[in-house]
Amino acid sequence: MRLKDKVSLITGAASGMGRATAILFAREGSKVAAVDVDETGGQKTVDLIHEMGADAFFVKADVSREADARNMVEQTVARYGRLDVLFNNAGVAQGVELTEMTEQEWDRVVDIDLKGVFLGSKYGIREMLKTGGGVIVSTASISGLFAQNYLPAYNAAKAGVINLTRNIAIEYGPRNIRANAICPGAIDTPMLQSAVSNNPENEPVVKYFHHMAPLHRIGKPEDIAKAALFLASDDSSFITGHALVVDGGLTAGTFMDPNRIRAMAEDILKK
């Protein structure tokens, strides 16, 4: 019960990492505000928590809209009286080459992935200060640490999340608010599944992640939920301003697989 009597607000809670985290936080004693634009999926998350005998409710919100961000925090505080943990998890990606990306596509990714963290934190921090502090956890990505092809807006937004997290940590640490980011690698979420189903050419990329990660598997949403729980709980009470990589070792080093290097070299020579 590492979050006993705490109140947590989790965005992107309708599926994947958000749903897994909402369920785990509830199991660990937290009351949960499950936030998403997907009302059906978000309510399903709440129903799963209720089946456990825990307390949760759903708030429909687009985290890129200031009015929605303010409302999700206000509704949480109106229902539970406080806010202790904010998990800025909602996010989207858009796979397209930089010169082919439209302004609208860029804005959508940056607005949700980065501005959403800003807005959630802006209103979340205001409430946390009223009750003596709190914890903010935000989902960044290994894409915020290292660039990946065809993800210009996502790379930029997730890098921004990491540095915004550091800014919050140094600015509000003296007032007992900790802020950390999680940098997932390839995680088996609806976003990843959609990327493959919508474009079969992405399947080899997923297999590549599976092969190259030292643990030889794609991550599960529960892997991220457990990291979020650690950062949200007092187990990490002396950790702030940190970007925790959870990627199965994918970014630990350069993997010199002789067979793969040979195959890649042969492909280059054929061209």
Q: Which domains does the chain have, with CATH numbers?
A: 7-270 (3.40.50.720)
The pTM of the full predicted model, rounded to 2 decimals, is 0.91
pLDDT at 188: 87
Residue 180 pLDDT grade (very low, low, confident, very high; cuts 50, 70, 90): very high
Whether residue 186 contacts residue 201, with contact meaning beta carbons closer than 8 Å, is answered with: no
pLDDT at 267: 65
Residue 259 pLDDT grade (very low, low, confident, very high; cuts 50, 70, 90): low
Residue 203, amino acid: E
User: Annotated catalytic sites, by residue?
Assistant: 154
Residue 106 pLDDT > 90: yes
Whether residue 113 contacts residue 154, with contact meaning beta carbons closer than 8 Å, is answered with: yes
Classify residue 119 as left (phi > 0), alpha (psi -120 to 50) or beta. Answer: alpha
Nearest Cα neighbor of 249 from 186, 195, 155, 189 is 186
Nearest Cα neighbor of 263 from 226, 208, 223, 217 is 208
pLDDT at 194: 66
Q: Higher confidence at residue 34 or residue 257?
A: 34
